[in-house]
Amino acid sequence: MKKKILLLSTGGTIASVASELGLQPGQTGGDLLAALGPLPYDVTIHDILKLDSTNIQPEEWQLIATKVYEMRGGFDGVVITHGTDTMAYTASMLTFMLPGIDLPVVLTGSQLPISTPLSDAPYNLRCALEMAVSGIPGVFIAFDRKILLGCRSVKVRTTGFDAFESVKAPAVATINSDGLCLTPNLPRPQSGPCRLETAIDSRVVLVKLIPGVDPKLFRAIASIGSRGVVIEAFGSGGLNFIRRDLVSAMGELVAEGIPVVVCSQCLYERSDMTKYEVGRRALREGVIPGEDMTSECAVTKLMWALGQGMTQAEIADFFRLSVAGEITPKDRPLP
């Protein structure tokens, strides 16, 4: 008996066609599957969106998560075709909106429309379909012969077919002549029954530090109603405090009830805010270390935590918890 897959199409480059305004989504999920020819799966298709992923925002995350939750019954796995630009954000948010997910949910897309002769879309879609019947629960991205954990994925290239990397954790699987080759000791989703938890607060700001940034910027962030801040700090998580005192500015935000999460601008290796004075001063002000989370994951995790009504203390505890492998335990070396 063929395994059953639910395919949810949302648009993106993979489904795009040429227009006077440039590429725009125009093909259906049925069109995408037709380009692959005969398949050894029983695929049910639902076209839920037709958007460039630049236009996919928190409301679309809630829609996609709801569709996965409500329609997953009777299927072995779910594939979501999606544009690449915000795919890492969607994959991270689905991780939190679907705690305890009980089947594979695999996002994929392409750098060229599936209708073009040299497109990477057919292989990416085939890999996603195969991961969807693997029996391994979780949220993943399938791209360029790799399966990546959704909450660890980052888009690193705009034209290369190897558009995504899992920069601080090994790939979940690779695809070669032996088929789908899984990495041992994979992180698993939270235990317990799958739940749908789509309440979020999107009033979160991501700021990349530059030398000389004015601390008044952060006062402005608070004044416009922001509820949380994620900062890409220098190196291991350093914030300057000489002349332009960002550390005190962070403390003021925390005192006003605005959680501040600090990650590193460096893609590779973890941050460690306990190593240098510039990090320890910030910790004393109450900032929350992002450890080795990607910025995409930190942003979506904070939006979700705020939406669940967590207090600052609860958010700090939540950021110490690895829900689905988004943080590497400190007793386990990075790859």
**Three-class SS of residue 253?**
helix
Query: Is residue 274 in a domain?
Result: yes
Query: Is residue 329 in a domain?
Result: no
Q: Is 103 found in the same domain as 245?
A: no
Residue 76 annotated to the active site: no
Query: Is residue 332 in a domain?
Result: no
Predicted local confidence at residue 331, as pLDDT: 54
Q: Is 295 found in the same domain as 177?
A: no
**Considering 13, 90, 95, 294, which one is annotated as catalytic?**
13
Residue 85 annotated to the active site: yes
Is the separation of the CB atoms in 139 and 98 below 8 Å? yes
Predicted local confidence at residue 335, as pLDDT: 44
Here the tokens at position 220 are: 């402005």
Q: Is 253 found in the same domain as 106?
A: no
CATH number of the domain to which 9 belongs = 3.40.50.1170
Predicted local confidence at residue 155, as pLDDT: 97
Query: Is residue 190 in a domain?
Result: no
**Considering 52, 85, 120, 144, which one is annotated as catalytic?**
85
CATH number of the domain to which 236 belongs = 3.40.50.40
**CA–CA distance, 302 with 320 (Å, rounded to integer):** 12
**Considering 28, 31, 272, 276, which one is annotated as catalytic?**
276
The residues pairing with 181 across neighbouring beta strands, listed in sequence order, are: 174
Q: Is 125 found in the same domain as 20?
A: yes
Range of the domain at 283: 204-320
Residue 28 annotated to the active site: no
Q: Is 161 found in the same domain as 81?
A: yes
Residue 159 annotated to the active site: no
Q: Is 214 found in the same domain as 307?
A: yes
In the listed set 133, 152, 182, which residue is the last one of a domain according to the structure? 182
Closest CA to 53 of 216, 168, 212, 163: 163
Query: Is residue 195 in a domain?
Result: no
Query: Is residue 187 in a domain?
Result: no
**Considering 67, 146, 155, 301, which one is annotated as catalytic?**
155
Predicted local confidence at residue 295, as pLDDT: 95
Q: Is 95 found in the same domain as 163?
A: yes
Q: What is the mean pLDDT of each run of 10 residues along the chain (335 residues)?
A: 97 94 94 96 98 97 98 98 98 97 97 96 97 96 97 96 92 93 80 93 95 90 94 84 87 94 88 78 90 95 98 96 88 47
Written in H, E and C, the secondary structure of 165-212 is EECCCCCCEEEECCEEEECCCCCCCCCCCCCCCCCCCCCEEEEECCCC
Q: Is 289 found in the same domain as 178?
A: no
Predicted local confidence at residue 285, as pLDDT: 86
Helix, strand, coil distribution of the chain in percent, nearest 5: 30, 25, 45
Predicted local confidence at residue 304, as pLDDT: 98
The count of structural domains within the chain is 2
In the listed set 147, 182, 217, which residue is the last one of a domain according to the structure? 182
Q: Is 160 found in the same domain as 18?
A: yes
Q: Is 175 found in the same domain as 67?
A: yes
Query: Is residue 192 in a domain?
Result: no
Query: Is residue 328 in a domain?
Result: no
Residue 84 annotated to the active site: yes
Q: Is 231 found in the same domain as 158?
A: no
Q: Is 243 found in the same domain as 124?
A: no
